[in-house]
Amino acid sequence: MTGQTGHLGSLEDIVEPDDNLLRETEAESTIPPVRRAIVVLVSDSAMDSDDRTGDLVTELLSEDNFEVDGVVSVAAKRSTIRKAIETAVVGGADLVVTIGGTGAGPRNKTPDATRAVLDQILPGIAQALRASGLACGAIDACTSRGIAGVSGSTVIVNLAPSRAAIRDGMATLGPLVHHVIDQLQQWTCD
């Protein structure tokens, strides 16, 4: 066939890919979802409550792609700690971070109040927090009785109250908690 026929060309000649659209689609798929968190500050008295601690935890959570819905200060009583955690769980928080009340002293009730709310305990998270606390020299982190676990679809983690324990704990916590939340959402979405 030597005659001239119309040539449409290849599909790429007809439909040019929109590089901007491809980049936007790729960017959207790599942006991790923003998750909701509540911070519970446990203290022996209202005077122990430190706004800077709440600000620090909020900042660190924000850097880890959490939107902090609130920072709540509660007395170091098992019932008030439990009520604050339960309220956050019912409110649909993805993460509850408690600060304080994790030591061995008689007024340290946070792990006990947390245990009463949990459906599952995640010992690996608490172990990782103690190990990293020891490595960074945060004595209260490595001697903490703090626990971690799941209540419904909310991850709950107890941190010791020193700035070193908070900074190191939050650095350790991020990838672990995101992994657990992904697992929880996978099962609730299917």
Q: Is residue 150 part of a domain?
A: yes
Q: Is residue 98 part of a domain?
A: yes
Continuous H helices in the chain = 11-14, 19-30, 51-63, 78-90, 110-115, 123-136, 139-142, 163-189
Query: Domain count of the chain?
Result: 1
Encode the chain (190 residues) as per-residue pLDDT tens digits.
Answer: 555 555 555 545 545 555 555 555 554 556 667 899 999 999 976 445 556 999 999 999 999 999 999 999 999 999 999 999 999 999 999 999 999 999 999 999 999 999 999 999 999 999 999 999 999 999 999 999 999 999 999 999 999 999 999 999 999 999 999 999 999 988 655 4
CA distance 105 to 128: 22
Which domain, by its residues, includes 140?
A: 36-186
pTM for the predicted model, two decimal places: 0.81
Q: Is residue 42 part of a domain?
A: yes
* 5, amino acid identity: T
Q: What's 155's domain CATH number?
A: 3.40.980.10
Q: Is residue 68 part of a domain?
A: yes
Q: Is residue 77 part of a domain?
A: yes
Residue whose tokens read 């030597």: 2
Token pair in block for residue 12: 């790429």
Q: Is residue 31 part of a domain?
A: no
Q: Is residue 65 part of a domain?
A: yes
